[in-house]
Amino acid sequence: MLRADLYEKNVSLETYLSPTDCRACGFQDRDEFLRKLRSGTLRPHACGLSKSRLLALQWAARPEEILPPIEVLQMPNPGPVGLTPLNEAGPDSPVLVSGNSELSITVLTAVLSTTISPFWYLVVDTDGHTVDMALVYKVLDVERIVKAFHKEGLHRQAPEATIYLPGLAAPLRDELAERTRRPVIPGPVCAAELPLFFGEDGWKISAD
């Protein structure tokens, strides 16, 4: 099977690491710590990091451990659109925006299954295109996101929520913030980075 590119190489693991992380796992050198993480030879039982922190780092270093294998598709494969509340999402729970490609839905659902934190998952109609291709064909734009936002009643259900865009959709941030009158933050390009991006407080690991 020819696997789709899920942008694993775009994970910016280095930006999340601190000397404290390295020392907690017995390393004085960040590069050595990164090598152990990426090779899968780090010994969790010998590491002083919290389970959530260590798992988030491991998933970012080895995305294949959390991302399902996805076959390259030549044509768009539309999935359902709409809003899904996760883990008792409330008025200020983050809103994660994505497109209605079955590939995107499968990947993001796999990653979201690792957390017990509340989120709103908004799937926008992108004609079945993945986020990267939806941006190329201009079927993931501010107009479509705003339309989905109002159709699903997010202005009532999540009046205090921040909107999180896929990393590749960062150019839409300013206009979307103006249209929705709320904070809009670009997330990571690779879904495997989400646990690190939100941190231990924002992404509580279900395995804890």
Task: Summarize pLDDT for 119-132 with one digit per residue, the tens.
Answer: 999 999 999 999 99
Q: Is residue 169 part of a domain?
A: yes
Q: Is residue 158 part of a domain?
A: yes
Residue recorded with tokens 């908004």: 122
Q: What is the extent of the structural domain holding 140?
A: 82-191
Q: What is the mean pLDDT of the chain?
A: 93
For residues 121 and 154, membership in a common domain is answered with yes
Distance CA 4, CA 18 (A): 31
For residues 152 and 87, membership in a common domain is answered with yes
For residues 88 and 115, membership in a common domain is answered with yes
The strands making up 163-165's β-sheet, listed across from edge to edge, are 82-86, 119-124, 95-99, 163-165, 184-186
For residues 89 and 184, membership in a common domain is answered with yes
Residue 108: give its domain's CATH number: 3.40.50.11600
Q: What is the structure's pLDDT at 5?
A: 82
Q: What is the structure's pLDDT at 6?
A: 87
Residue recorded with tokens 């809009």: 184
Q: Give the number of other CB atoms < 10 A from CB of residue 8.
A: 17
Low-confidence ranges of the chain (pLDDT < 50): none
Domain count, the chain: 2
**pTM for this structure?**
0.93
For residues 60 and 91, membership in a common domain is answered with no
For residues 56 and 86, membership in a common domain is answered with no
Q: Is residue 162 part of a domain?
A: yes
Q: Is residue 71 part of a domain?
A: no
Q: What is the structure's pLDDT at 208?
A: 54
Asked if 40 and 59 touch (Cβ cutoff 8 Å), the reply is no
For residues 14 and 101, membership in a common domain is answered with no
Q: What is the structure's pLDDT at 203?
A: 97
For residues 135 and 94, membership in a common domain is answered with yes
